[in-house]
C-alpha cells in the first residue's frame, strides 16, 4: 500500500458538518506509509481535542484502514497562519470567550461548568476569570491556592479539577473593590494573559464581564479567539442585551459558537410541574433568528446554586441528573462547534492554496 491508496480510502470518510470528504476539504495534513515498521501514519487537521464529532472522524479513519496489514498511527494538528511574533499564546489551541449582554444570567456558572466539563472529557484546560470587577471563579471552584511568581517574573497558576486558574480575586483582598479605569484594566489583562505560564492547553476558557466595555474590547484586540459563547436567560430584557453582545463580536469578526439559554424552566420538587419563571425558549428562538447554533438549555435548579457556592461544578457530579446532563450537552456542543470553526478555516486555506484556484 502506498500514500495514494491510503488517500483514496480516506476519500470515503466524510466530515458530517462540512458535507464533503476529509481529503477534498484539505483535512489530511500528511500520510506516510512505513513498510519497514508496518505502520501507516496519518496526520489530520482536527483542532478540537475530545470533541465527539472529531473523535468520530478519527474512528472513521481507523475503520477505513482497518483491513490493512499495517498498524495505524493517527495524530492531529492544525497549523496556525500567524508568525511566531504574532502568536500571543502559541501553546493554546483554542481560546473560548463566555459572554453575556447583561449581568445576572449565570455567565460565570456556564464558564466554570464548560471548563470543568472539557477537563472531564480529558482535555487540557485553563480557566481565566477576566471579570475584573466581579471575579467569582475561585469561589465557584473552591480554589484556595494562590498563584506564585517565578524568578523570571512569570506567574504559575494554581490548579483545581484539572484546570489551570487565573483570576483577579487571587490578587486583591477578599473584600477589596476593584476601582480602575480602562487603561489600567487593559494593562492588567495583558499581563495576566501573557505572563501566566499556561503551558500547553487544548482550551482556554475566558469568563468575560457582562456588557460590552473596556475589558471585552481588550480581549478582542489582544487574544486570538476561536469563538464566543453567549449566555442569556429566556426573557426579552436579557435577549435585548444578548443581541448587543452578539453585535460586538460581529464587529470584531469573532465566531460565535452558539447560544446557551440559562434558567430555562423550573421543575417544582414538590408538585413536579414545570414553571417558566423567566419564560422558556427565548434563547433558542434568538439563536434561530440569528442563524446561530443553540448549544442547550440549563434548567433553573437549586443544585446549580449549591455547586457554585460550594465550589463543586454540577457538571462533575457522579450522578449529575438533568442539570448536570444539560451542562454536558452544552460542553460537547461547544467542543463540536470549535471543531467546525477550525476545520472550516483549514479547508478555506487549503482551497486558497490549491493550484486550481
pLDDT along the chain (357 residues), means of 10: 95 96 96 95 96 97 95 92 72 92 87 97 94 82 87 89 89 56 64 84 91 72 88 85 84 88 75 65 88 92 87 88 92 97 94 67
What pLDDT shows up at residue 184?
61
Q: How far apart are the first and last CA of the chain?
A: 30
Task: Please state, in angstroms and rounded to a whole number, the distance separating the CA atoms of residues 50 and 115.
Answer: 13
How far is Cα 44 from Cα 26, in angstroms, rounded to an integer?
Answer: 9
Q: What local confidence, expressed as pLDDT, does residue 80 receive?
A: 78
Q: Alpha-carbon distance 74 to 124, whole Å?
A: 19
Instruction: Say how many C-beta atoms besides its own lie within 10 A of residue 344's C-beta.
Output: 15
Partners of 267 in the β-ladder: 274
CB 44 within 8 A of CB 14: no
Percentages (nearest 5) of helix, strand, coil residues in the chain: 40, 20, 40
CB contact burial 135-173 (16+ within 10 A = b; e otherwise) = bbbbbbbebeeebeeeeeeebebbbbbebbbbbbbbeee
pLDDT at 240: 84
Contact 130, 211 (CB under 8 A): no
Strand segments, DSSP code E, in 45-118 are 71-76, 95-99
Q: Which residue has the cell 481560546?
A: 95
Strand order in the sheet with 28-34: 28-34, 39-44, 71-76
Check if the beta carbon of residue 21 is closer than 8 Å to that of residue 10: yes
Contact 103, 210 (CB under 8 A): yes
Calculate ∠ Cα 100-288-251, nearest 5°: 50
Model pLDDT, residue 320: 67
| Residue that has been written with the C-alpha cell 484546560 in this structure | 125
338: which residues sit within 8 A by CB, 6+ positions away?
Answer: 47, 48, 51, 94, 96, 203, 226, 227, 257
The bridge status of strand 71-76 relative to strand 274-275 is unpaired
Amino acid at each position: 500500500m502506498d500514500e495514494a491508496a491510503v488517500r483514496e480510502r480516506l476519500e470515503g470518510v466524510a466530515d458530517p458538518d462540512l458535507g464533503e470528504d476529509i481529503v477534498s476539504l484539505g483535512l489530511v495534513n500528511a500520510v506516510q506509509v512505513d513498510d519497514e515498521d508496518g505502520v501507516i501514519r496519518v496526520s489530520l487537521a482536527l483542532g478540537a481535542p475530545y470533541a465527539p464529532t472529531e473523535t468520530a472522524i478519527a474512528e472513521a479513519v481507523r475503520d477505513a484502514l482497518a483491513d490493512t496489514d499495517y498498524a495505524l498511527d493517527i495524530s492531529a494538528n492544525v497549523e496556525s497562519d500567524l508568525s511566531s511574533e504574532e502568536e500571543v499564546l502559541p501553546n493554546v489551541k483554542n481560546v473560548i470567550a463566555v459572554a453575556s449582554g447583561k449581568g445576572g444570567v449565570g455567565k460565570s456558572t456556564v464558564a466554570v461548568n464548560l471548563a470543568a466539563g472539557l477537563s472531564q472529557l480529558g482535555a487540557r484546560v485553563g480557566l481565566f476569570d477576566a471579570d475584573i470587577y466581579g471575579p467569582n471563579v475561585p469561589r465557584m471552584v473552591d480554589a484556595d491556592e494562590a498563584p506564585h511568581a517565578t524568578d523570571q517574573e512569570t506567574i504559575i497558576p494554581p490548579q483545581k479539577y484539572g484546570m489551570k486558574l487565573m483570576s483577579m480575586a487571587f490578587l486583591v483582598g477578599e473584600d477589596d473593590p476593584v476601582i480602575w479605569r480602562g487603561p489600567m484594566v487593559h494593562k492588567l489583562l495583558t499581563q495576566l494573559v501573557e505572563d501566566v505560564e499556561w503551558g500547553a492547553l487544548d482550551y482556554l476558557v475566558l469568563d468575560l464581564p457582562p456588557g460590552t466595555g473596556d475589558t471585552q474590547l481588550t480581549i478582542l484586540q489582544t487574544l486570538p479567539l476561536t469563538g464566543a459563547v453567549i449566555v442569556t436567560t429566556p426573557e426579552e430584557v436579557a435577549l435585548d442585551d444578548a443581541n448587543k453582545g452578539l453585535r460586538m463580536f460581529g464587529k470584531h469578526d469573532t465566531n460565535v459558537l452558539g447560544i446557551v439559554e440559562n434558567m430555562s424552566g423550573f421543575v417544582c420538587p414538590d408538585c413536579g410541574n414545570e414553571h417558566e419563571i423567566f419564560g422558556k425558549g427565548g434563547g433558542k428562538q434568538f439563536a434561530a433568528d440569528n442563524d446561530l447554533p443553540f448549544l442547550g438549555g440549563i434548567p433553573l435548579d437549586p443544585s446549580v446554586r449549591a455547586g457554585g457556592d460550594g465550589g463543586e461544578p454540577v457538571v462533575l457530579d457522579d450522578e449529575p441528573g438533568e442539570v448536570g446532563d444539560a451542562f454536558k450537552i452544552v460542553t460537547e456542543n461547544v467542543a463540536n462547534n470549535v471543531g467546525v470553526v477550525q476545520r472550516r478555516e483549514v479547508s478555506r486555506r487549503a482551497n486558497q492554496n490549491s493550484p486550481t484556484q
